[in-house]
Amino acid sequence: MKKKAQITMFVIIGLILILIVGFVLYLSRFNYELKVGDVTGFDTYFKSCIDSHIEQGIYQMGLYSGYLSKPTRFEISSIENSKTELSNYIQDHIKLCINNYPNNEKIKVDYNIPTIDIDISDTIIVNIKDSYTYNINNEQVTSPDLSYSYNVRYMTVYNTAKKIIQNDDKFIQDTDNLKQDDLVIETSSVYDGQLWLITDKISKIKSDSFYFAFKKT
């Protein structure tokens, strides 16, 4: 009887140990899955890297009349074209951020063709999905969905520029400085037309006011 009781006790102890070991392994696995994306620091690095490039892209859109590269004439780009050029610019700089990651020897990051959704109104919103994957310890890490919002009243500035192009009577040409809707509007004559600069002191990009340059030819 005593021997039977001892055997029963050993069985119970064994079962308890198996349960404890299984529970510890489960917790370790759960904790690993939560933190695997942060092991290399890549996700944090990428989020900051692409944010700085998008800001630069929006800054260039203002500098070049809604384009991302300097146009031969400063005619205003359409909103749809600006979205397309900004999307292509972001794709190129996603690759750049991946290639410039300082710890690339630790992981191999694979670039994916991302889904990029851009909304341009009086705030510029950029959503990026599925931009990269990488493997670490035989686990695949997929890029998180990223959303960026920039305090730029793009449509207010853009529509004001369109009114100027259309010879709206509210706007005086030559060297007058005008103020409308919290915008500072400056103009001067250049060799191939009229150069205008709209500065929106409410909007901020790269820690400075947003401005939009264009020509009235």
Q: SS3 of 179, please?
A: strand
pTM of the model as a whole: 0.76
CA-CA-CA-CA dihedral for 87, 89, 91, 94, to nearest 10 = -130
Render each residue's pLDDT in the chain as its tens digit; 217 residues.
544 454 555 445 544 545 444 544 444 443 433 344 445 688 999 999 999 999 999 999 999 999 998 776 778 999 999 999 999 999 999 999 999 988 766 788 999 999 999 999 999 999 999 999 988 777 888 999 999 999 999 999 999 999 888 875 566 554 455 666 788 888 877 666 778 899 998 999 988 999 999 987 6
Number of H helices, E strands in the chain: 4, 10
First to last CA, the chain: 107
Q: SS3 of 47, please?
A: helix
Angle of the 42-63 helix axis to the 79-99 helix axis, nearest 10? 140
- Among 126, 106, 105, smallest CA distance to 116 is for 126
Domain ranges of the chain: 37-150, 154-216
| Residue 46 burial by Cβ neighbours in a 10 Å radius (0-12, 13-18, 19+) | buried
